[in-house]
């Protein structure tokens, strides 16, 4: 009797695993508005680097890398430089980031509306002290 129940469970699991349902769904998507996408990272004492790409539909695999953008960098409200194209949509500065300064990037590329981004690199917060106390009750590594 027990064998019959086990065989019944196994047969049920096999039937569920090999059973599939497919239904083709038509998807009508609105035309994606072409916009620039700017991804960047500002770190202290490092060159400022941004990746410029374009928006894509959810049906597309890869975003277009923008190779002909003009990327202007301003520091504390004053124009500093035009970032240089490094390949694969990457643009880099020759200026190193300084904590406490404000950075603005203005990007323009043919066929896209201009974009603007601004950020301030914060000053490091000094660590005034710290402590650790072991109570002897931790059994985690026994």
For residue range 38-56, list pLDDT tens digits in order: 999 899 999 999 999 999 8
Predicted confidence band of residue 58 (pLDDT cuts 50, 70, 90):
confident
pTM: 0.69
Q: How many other CB atoms are found less than 10 A from the CB of residue 90?
A: 16
Return mean pLDDT, the chain.
Answer: 86
Question: What integer is the mean pLDDT of 104-129?
Answer: 93
In this prediction, residues 77-88 reach a mean pLDDT of: 96
**Counted domains in the chain:** 1
In Å, what is the CA distance from 133 to each residue of 68, 127, 128, 136, 138?
Answer: 57, 18, 17, 9, 12
pLDDT score of 121 more than 70 = yes
- The range of the structural domain enclosing residue 66 comes to 36-120
Res. 139 pLDDT band, cuts 50 70 90 = low
pLDDT band at 33 (very low <50, low <70, confident <90, very high): confident
State the average pLDDT over residues 27-33: 76
- Comparing CA positions, the residue from 88, 91, 89, 53 lying closest to residue 71 is 91
Dihedral of CA 114/64/79/96: which sign?
A: positive
According to the model, what pLDDT value does residue 37 have?
Answer: 94
* 54 lies in some domain: yes
Residue 1 lies in a domain: no
Task: Give domain status of residue 105, yes or no.
Answer: yes
pLDDT higher than 90, residue 60: no
């Amino acid at each position: 009797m027990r064998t019959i129940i086990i065989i019944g469970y196994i047969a049920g699991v096999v039937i569920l695993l090999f059973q599939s349902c497919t239904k083709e769904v038509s998807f009508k998507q609105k035309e994606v508005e072409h916009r620039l996408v700017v991804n960047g990272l500002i770190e202290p004492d490092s060159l400022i680097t941004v990746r410029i790409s374009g928006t894509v539909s959810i049906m597309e695999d890869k975003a277009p890398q923008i190779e002909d953008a003009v990327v202007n960098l301003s520091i504390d409200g004053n124009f500093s430089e035009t970032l240089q194209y490094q390949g694969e949509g990457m643009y880099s500065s020759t200026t190193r980031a300084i904590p406490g300064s404000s950075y603005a990037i203005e990007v323009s590329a043919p066929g896209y509306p201009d974009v603007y981004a601004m950020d301030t690199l914060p000053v490091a917060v000094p660590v005034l002290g710290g402590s650790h106390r072991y109570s002897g009750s931790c059994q985690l590594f026994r």
